[in-house]
Amino acid sequence: MAQVLKASEENLKRAAEVIRKGGLVAFPTETVYGLGGDAFNPDAVARIFEVKERPTFDPIIVHIADFGDIKRLCREIDERAKILAEKFWPGPLTMVLKKSKEVPDIVTAGLDTVAVRMPSHPVARKLIEYSKTPIAAPSANLFGKLSPTTAEHVNEQLGERIDMIIDGGRCPVGVESTVIDLSVDPPAILRPGGTPAEEIERVIGKVSFIHRSDEPKSPGQLKKHYSPRTPLRIIRGEMDVGHGEKAGLLAFKRPDDETARKFEKIEVLSSSDDLNEALRQAAQNLFSALHRLDHAGLDIIYAEQVPEIGLGRAIMDRLRKAEGMG
């Protein structure tokens, strides 16, 4: 089993040593836990794919702690990238840019672009700094399964396969970063995430949204992804729990008593009356709530829709993928 260590200075230095030697460390970011390895070590990156059982056509995000590091990774950093970095880094935004020769092909799945992100979580930042190398890190879950927002989630799925898990508590944003492709014009949002598209458009103008396609440019676009083992269905219009069906409810707001009686287990994602605050709470709680529902021995999970603005886009994207409808 992996060692689960508190995020002390000493343990972060040990973790950095593991990364430098080509090992794998799971660590907290503000979005979800990442499974990190030295981005310039192709063997370490190959192990990331193996451990996650991830198809090698699905490229991995490279994490940096200092804007200067981007020069080693990318051959073109245009004005829009600079503006976005200035406004949203460090934070939950990943930019896809033309890659430099130095980035190993295995990181980018042979693409001519590399995805770069500067996380804001202090533990992630220190780990990158101490490792003295950019860290390639997908979410620390098995491919296609629920993303991890606590060290326990990581341990459950990957504990037996990796060297170390740094426990930094639960991830404050709770959904993955927004991925934006700046190698095309207009820029394209490949995955909605922790940085709302509306805020991005406010600084660089119109972006396009790539929706599901058979040949995903970002495999975050694969239809079935972020899935619990229990079947999940989004509630559209009237819903009835089947007779004798053990059903769970993923509710955006606290349900009334009559609704609540139909379910074995209910997870309420938000409590605020302010929509933006409610969406922030819902994003933060989403994966933990899904993990709990998935462990409750239910036949089915019904999920309420949330308004598709701001963080609501990322939430609905994850729910549709959990449902398998992309």
CB nearer to Mg ion: pick between 80 and 225: 225
For the bound state, the minimum distance from the C-beta of residue 12 to ligand TXA, rounded and expressed in Å, comes to 16
State which residue, 278 or 283, has the beta carbon closest to Mg ion: 283
If the CB atoms of residues 59 and 90 are measured against ligand TXA, the closer one turns out to be: 59
Residues binding ligand TXA (CB under 6 A): 29, 31-32, 34, 58-61, 92, 94, 96, 108, 111, 113-115, 117, 137-139, 176-177, 179, 190-191, 217-220
The residue at minimum Cβ distance from ligand TXA is: 220
Cβ closer to ligand TXA: 176 or 323? 176
Min dist CB 31 to ligand TXA, Å, is: 3
* Ranges within 128-147 binding Mg ion (CB under 5 A): 139
Pairing of strands 135-136, 232-234: unpaired
Nearer to ligand TXA, 114 or 298 (CB): 114
Rule CB under 5 A: say whether 227 interacts with Mg ion: no
Q: How far is the CB of 192 from ligand TXA (least distance, A)?
A: 11
Question: Considering CB distances under 5 to 8 angstroms, the limit depending on partner class, which of Mg ion, ligand TXA, none binds residue 19?
Answer: none
Q: Which is nearer to ligand TXA, 180 or 266 (CB)?
A: 180
Select from Mg ion, ligand TXA, none the partner in contact with residue 94, using the beta carbon and a kind-dependent cut-off of 5 to 8 Å: ligand TXA
User: 162, 2 in Cβ contact below 8 A?
Assistant: yes
Considering CB distances under 5 to 8 angstroms, the limit depending on partner class, which of ligand TXA, Mg ion, none binds residue 137? ligand TXA
The number of beta carbons lying within 10 Å of the beta carbon of residue 219 is 18
Q: Does 31 bind Mg ion (CB under 5 A)?
A: no
Binding site for Mg ion (CB under 5 A): 139
